[in-house]
Structure 1
């Protein structure tokens, strides 16, 4: 302990940041307009903190700090009128003075108008420089920056840059550390940094290190090889891998020369991408993308235009931008007649706002292939008159141009769907179509299509009636835009087997999908994935839409039947979207995940209710620097517990919980082993949920992460305290 008051040490700059004129100008502060609508435009003073990782802004009128955010929370910066709010102000403010700060997760965008084009460019370029540094930080650098993440300025109540014991105690509680009143004194300069680094030590990692180190000071090459084989389950090229890890993560030149890994190097390795639970080979695009489209699970959204609830929420092009940037490859658009002959997009028979169809298509053309090169399916819910359907078709063609697929890839009648590779940079329209695709390819259609010899008279007459009805309700120009994704009704497996067309897709509600699976299992004993693949076409499509009134979407455990598209409400946080993110975060986040072999073979019979057993799986966990629960008072410290859930075939559905750790969200250590018996790991997702334990009410959500076992783990699940996951915090989902 010391007496008096100590000076809080100035934060060190992150590696890779040099104080340029641009950053110094940002640190001096800039007066800009924060805008929320045409009528809400208020001046705020924005300033980059000395740590170059935090930005705060305050009201010009009151001088009170309004909010702050970390650079690590910023995903990108958009220049010009690239938001609906800024577009509405285009006549008032030129694009060179406007920019939008886009955050990760569900935090709203920040639309700003600078006083000049030079000031706008200063902030745009400076933010982009800092974002690049933040995204390239390794775990060690992030830990080193943690003390300067803005907490210290919040704890320094009188803003004098110096901290007494009470302020240090306040700081620790903000960081989820409980501290009683039995201490006194101050922390000065280097002592504060030393104090923090002492807190961040991982005793459980040091204990593991010593289990494999003979002298307790280093891991020799052979000792590191033993660790990699026994605990990380590496089985090929282990000695070469150990050498690479030492060269990459050992900070001591002497230890590197002796092919040894110190405790510091060991921790840096475990906190690196190589130590992640994610199999690094599967982070990039690694799957075969040349198989028919129906052989993939496809990331799909429901009511994509909504960014809030489905009854009174706002419709926005931002919904499409967010979904596409998350790798979504199937978007939904509900079109209705609008004023002045312009079709509008909104949720019919509700109080949601409206946006022009033209803006949706323009956004699609701009953002469709920024995250993934593979095809986007635009699912059209068409409620327009024939006249405005003509407008829909014209806008699709004029705005998308060659991006819109208007013919088969080879000009022939398809015998199977093309592959994602063949459809790169193409947008496919899903909707109703007059007649059959083969009629158009065979030549100009008559009033009724030709019927093949194997069609009986009743079937031919039914087809003629369908075509006549379609012609009465559907514009030919819009029909011609539908190629591989003609919407048809599902009439059962038997008809699907005998009337196979790969260019057709069936869509139905979650309840019907579950019933089909259940009925097929009861009548036939098994569910044949080939049945689903043959629905209304050999290798055709199925799309499952969300279950109302939950407004969140179906579970993305498509494996129960092989449904390619499960449409989820991307704007609504919850377990469903957590699992969806876990499934599609692999394979370069391209939005396509190849189904397991037994779900691509039409002759395979797979019974999800009676699968074979696999080796047991075990999970041992600890944590560090957990986020606080939203809206928690500064003085409250969480009591974290971890629930591990397995989502998959019925035999694999399971969940277990650890005990809760009282008053410690900073470095809780559970030291528990949870075992799960998996039968079909190819279809299993494992989800970690951290909650703040409450004796009298429902636990509060802290964060989660979800993983698709077939992609993340090199063998069976083996998640231990020495592999790390990144916990995603978000607002607690609404109750169903």
Structure 2
């Protein structure tokens, strides 16, 4: 019963002459007509028979039985994800700003950002998922030791040196490409010096302390250049030029805090008094709006010297950045500010991100550590789109989908029209770019198998439906659903066909969601799978071309 697959048998019999086996010629027809393969099909068919056919007798006949066909379709070769894009296949020698970088927000938190637990486990888990930029919120602690926690809340506290040790131990377990420590610095000069000591002493040669070639650079180094290195992103006195000449003085006045979420909230919600009171009473924590006034603190030279290519700066305007900004300066945006810039000047935002790094982080009002959808920020070319890795949901699904390619190394090369300085790409109007080629994606949802029960009620059986979502530029955002199959999680079959027109396929993500239909309440989530459109086994066809099938499993 477990191995009976009427859906696969139907496909098998369409190409089998006798209904019992596929000859090598039959299999070649299937690969050519359905799987859209075109390179040395004869050799590939022979290899598939040799690899997946369990019957020695069939192998001697150069044939594939139904069991072999089933094993082939269920193998890695039958996956919707193109195996050629599983490993590192992209150019890794371009400047850091030309890549999307897997990034975490409030990495130390295991739960919500009001009363949740802080733990070095958050860093270990994020780094083991390929994350390449982690956040460290630093505050003065007892006995002269800096601590990490979500300031002015009841989240627990951990030692900064323990965080640095965890990063040092796990930074390069999954990927050899550089890790960025995004430091939110609220410490006194004395404890900043302790931070710098821990960074240098614990990380040693892995900490990038100087520019790579000893000469004044003109652009950011590449992930390949920075293999095995840990970079600090934080405030810095002066720039690379002054650092090379040794002109920076010790402990100058400056704003040491990188991201001031409270100030961002205050600007986005000028009439915040009632919100402020409600947060204070309901959540039982000290409202961050009480601390929205930036304090002038001194920045220690020792910690400033740990910052090389990622100097945190305040963003003024795109015009100001175009004239005055340096390539090694990084601006941070709350999600609402990033959306506003994207709305008002999308093409300028993309152009800005072709020259230097930008970081986007969730709103301070997301006290439950929920996430926004990172796709809208990638549409602007923002590289460091920081998410709460501890919170499952659509945001992390899309993030995991994008970074599942290129060896899961945490770096994905942006499309060429987002990297070239002389190109203006507006995500709101993708049809105006050069080489605009929309495509049609046709998905036939055939069947499912052994879907789990999600309702705790006894004798409950799922009524599954499949929703296919496209995440991309605004014109590409779309969702379509199959009908639901009543009381069948064992082997539901839909044979429903969905069509999508995609205007910027280079940025599009495809998400498959299975839900348990309920007519009286919200559907229950069963499972999902997300991948970049560019990594699907078949290449989308231009508008107006003939539609073909591709039998893959998700």
Which TM-score bucket, shorter chain as reference?
0.7 to 0.9
TM-superposed CA distance for 1:639, in Å, is 0.8
Cα root mean square deviation, aligned: 2.0
TM-superposed CA distance for 1:720, in Å, is 6.7
Judging changes above 3 Å, is the alpha-carbon distance between structure 1 residues 574 and 299 closer, same or farther for their aligned structure 2 residues? same
The match for 2:302 is 477
The match for 1:268 is 71
Q: How does 1:584-599 map to 2 (within 5 A)?
A: 584-599=403-418
The match for 2:427 is 608
Residue deviations 1:654-704, cap 9 Å, x none?
001111111111211111011111111110011111111111111111111
Match for residue 552 of structure 2 among 723, 726, 729: 723
Q: Distance in 1 between matches of 2:217 and 2:453?
A: 54
SS of alignment partner, residue 309 of structure 1: coil
Aligned partners of 2:189 and 2:251 also within 8 Å: no
2:239 is the alignment partner of 1:410:
no
Residue deviations 1:383-428, cap 9 Å, x none?
1111111111001111111111100111122201111111011000
2:191 is the alignment partner of 1:367:
no
Match for residue 358 of structure 1 among 161, 169, 176: 161
Aligned partners of 1:529 and 1:601 also within 8 Å: no
Q: TM-score, normalised by structure 1?
A: 0.66
Match for residue 653 of structure 1 among 457, 477, 491: 477
Gaps of 5+ in 1: 1-197, 450-468, 534-538, 726-736
2:468 is the alignment partner of 1:644:
yes
Match for residue 86 of structure 2 among 279, 283, 293: 283
- Bigger relative contact order, structure 1 or 2 (CA pairs below 8 A, ≥6 apart): 2
The match for 1:549 is 365
Q: Distance in 2 between matches of 1:214 and 1:265?
A: 16
2:508 is the alignment partner of 1:684:
yes
Q: How does 1:220-299 map to 2 (within 5 A)?
A: 220-299=23-102
Q: Distance in 1 between matches of 2:310 and 2:449?
A: 47
2:19 is the alignment partner of 1:200:
no
TM-superposed CA distance for 1:310, in Å, is 1.1
Residue deviations 1:480-505, cap 9 Å, x none?
00000000011111111112412111
Judging changes above 3 Å, is the alpha-carbon distance between structure 1 residues 491 and 689 closer, same or farther for their aligned structure 2 residues? same
Judging changes above 3 Å, is the alpha-carbon distance between structure 1 residues 303 and 506 closer, same or farther for their aligned structure 2 residues? same
More off after superposition, 219-228 vs 332-341 = 219-228
Q: TM-score, normalised by structure 2?
A: 0.87
Residue deviations 1:121-143, cap 9 Å, x none?
xxxxxxxxxxxxxxxxxxxxxxx
TM-superposed CA distance for 1:471, in Å, is 9.8
TM-superposed CA distance for 1:246, in Å, is 1.0
Aligned partners of 1:619 and 1:719 also within 8 Å: no
TM-superposed CA distance for 1:615, in Å, is 3.0
SS of alignment partner, residue 694 of structure 1: coil
Residue deviations 1:290-332, cap 9 Å, x none?
1111110000000000011111110001100100000000000
Match for residue 378 of structure 1 among 181, 185, 196: 181
Q: Distance in 2 between matches of 1:592 and 1:485?
A: 17
Q: How does 1:506-545 map to 2 (within 5 A)?
A: 506-521=331-346, 526-527=347-348, 529-533=350-354, 539-545=355-361
Aligned partners of 2:97 and 2:353 also within 8 Å: no
The match for 1:55 is none
The match for 1:441 is 244
More off after superposition, 704-713 vs 591-600 = 704-713
Aligned partners of 2:113 and 2:155 also within 8 Å: yes
Q: Distance in 1 between matches of 2:306 and 2:96?
A: 18
Aligned partners of 1:528 and 1:604 also within 8 Å: no
TM-superposed CA distance for 1:548, in Å, is 3.8
Q: Distance in 2 between matches of 1:499 and 1:490?
A: 11
Match for residue 708 of structure 1 among 525, 529, 532: 532
SS of alignment partner, residue 130 of structure 2: coil
Judging changes above 3 Å, is the alpha-carbon distance between structure 1 residues 579 and 504 closer, same or farther for their aligned structure 2 residues? same
SS of alignment partner, residue 582 of structure 1: helix
The match for 2:134 is 331
Match for residue 448 of structure 2 among 623, 639, 647: 623
Q: Distance in 1 between matches of 2:180 and 2:129?
A: 15
Q: How does 1:12-23 map to 2 (within 5 A)?
A: none
Judging changes above 3 Å, is the alpha-carbon distance between structure 1 residues 448 and 199 closer, same or farther for their aligned structure 2 residues? closer
Gaps of 5+ in 2: 253-293, 542-546
Aligned partners of 2:237 and 2:299 also within 8 Å: yes
Residue deviations 1:194-219, cap 9 Å, x none?
xxxx2431101000011111221211
More off after superposition, 476-485 vs 224-233 = 224-233
2:395 is the alignment partner of 1:395:
no
The match for 1:46 is none
TM-superposed CA distance for 1:640, in Å, is 0.8
Aligned partners of 1:640 and 1:664 also within 8 Å: yes
TM-superposed CA distance for 1:472, in Å, is 5.2
Aligned partners of 1:528 and 1:603 also within 8 Å: no
Aligned partners of 2:335 and 2:360 also within 8 Å: yes
Q: Distance in 1 between matches of 2:409 and 2:352?
A: 26
Aligned partners of 1:293 and 1:419 also within 8 Å: yes
Aligned partners of 1:405 and 1:481 also within 8 Å: yes
Q: Distance in 2 between matches of 1:330 and 1:665?
A: 40
Aligned residues: 499
The match for 2:402 is 583
SS of alignment partner, residue 510 of structure 2: strand
Aligned partners of 2:461 and 2:488 also within 8 Å: yes
